[in-house]
Structure 1
Amino acid sequence: MAAKFVLKMSGDQFMFNLQAGNGQTVLTSERYTTKAAATNGIASVKKNAADDGKYEMTASGMRFNLRAGNGQVIGGSQNYSSAEAATAGMDAVKRAAAEALVDDQTADSESK
């Protein structure tokens, strides 16, 4: 299975998950008020994912965030069991993001 961004609704807002080729979610976005903003978030992940400097580990070392060029968080990881596992998660985002397709599951809800 190829990596993909799953674009979906969360209540009345939009969000996306980046799923690696094995189906595991490796990055979850912030919530967006419009579909266009969520789509721009996906583009930002694609643009920034390869840049090591855009990642930050949390104080515990068990989670990471990916930041856009303006410093805003565009996605975060799940809680990992170790710092090594979190680093492997970052590597999975780097590998998956650039070529991932978008699976739009919003059913054309952009008018909300």
Structure 2
Amino acid sequence: MFELFQSEKNQKYYFNLKAKNGQVILSSQGYADKSGAKNGVESVKTNCSDDGKFERKTATNGKFHFNIKAANGQIIGTSQMYASESGMENGIESVKTNAPSAGIEGE
């Protein structure tokens, strides 16, 4: 399920992709308006089937995370930090599994 929301702090719109257990597996950058955030959701759905759109990263603290990028190379979502590389790969698989058919809450 994609969850759309507006930040009270900066008034920007964001989305989270949640797994069936409610855990957030992907978070967006901020968008100026709700339609931009909805377009971001659609971009995740479009791009998540292409493994090449996932950018795997290792933080300076040794933890792992990933970004998903749009066709134009812009980051459209960022994962949480994972303790292991296999955990990160499971997170990527979860995005690939959950995003294509996920509904949008908070439209």
TM-score of the pair, normalised by structure 2: 0.91
The aligned residue for residue 7 of structure 1 is 4
Counterpart CA distance in 1 for 2:92 and 2:57 is 13
Match of 2:79 among 74, 77, 80: 77
How big is the alpha-carbon RMSD for the aligned residues of Structure 1 and Structure 2? 1.1
Q: Where in structure 2 are there 5+ consecutive unaligned residues?
A: none
TM-score of the pair, normalised by structure 1: 0.87
Code of the residue aligned with 2:64 in structure 1: it is: M
Residues 37-90 of structure 1, C-alpha deviation per residue, up to 9 Å, x if partnerless?
000000000000111000011134600000000000000000011111001000
Counterpart CA distance in 1 for 2:46 and 2:81 is 24
Match of 1:98 among 97, 100, 103: 100
Total equivalences in the alignment:
102
Alignment of 1:53-64 (within 5 A): 53-60=52-59, 62-64=64-66
Secondary structure of the structure 2 residue equivalent to 1:37: helix
Q: Identity rate of aligned residues, in percent?
A: 42
Counterpart CA distance in 2 for 1:47 and 1:6 is 17
In the TM superposition, residue 21 of structure 1 has moved relative to its aligned partner by 1.0
- List structure 1 segments (4+ residues) > 6 angstroms apart after TM superposition: none
Q: Where in structure 1 are there 5+ consecutive unaligned residues?
A: 106-112
Secondary structure of the structure 2 residue equivalent to 1:63: strand
